Structure 1
Amino acid sequence: ISDGVAQLYEKNGILYLQVVSETATLTHEEHKAIELPYGSWMVRIQREYEPQGWRYVAD
């Protein structure tokens, strides 16, 4: 988070990002910044299929 206030937490094995400010900006050096509004957001880890099976995407 490059701007705003947010907290990452886990509940029942699921990751969440709680934005506690009006907005929070999520930044990554290889992707466009995303502005998230106040609230709880489920964090999902992207996967892609390969002939050997599913694998997690790594940036």
Structure 2
Amino acid sequence: MFPQSYLPSRDISEGEILNEENLTILRPCVGIDARDFDKLIGRKTLRSFKRHEALDWNFIQE
């Protein structure tokens, strides 16, 4: 099995809440691992992200 990660499925604005509609799973694993889905959903972004740009926990509100 190849590692996968969650990436924005579209451009995401600063302050937007992450959910199933604005994220997609892609290979290879860059950024946040797909196994962290439950930790990621519902959190707010601290900066904007472009479509398919690697997410970084440093820019995701806890």
Q: Does TM-score exceed 0.5, indicating one fold?
A: no
Q: Tell me the TM-score normalised to structure 1 length.
A: 0.25
Q: Tell me the TM-score normalised to structure 2 length.
A: 0.25
Whichever structure has more helix as a proportion of its residues is 2
Q: Which has the larger radius of gyration?
A: 1
Whichever structure has more strand as a proportion of its residues is 1
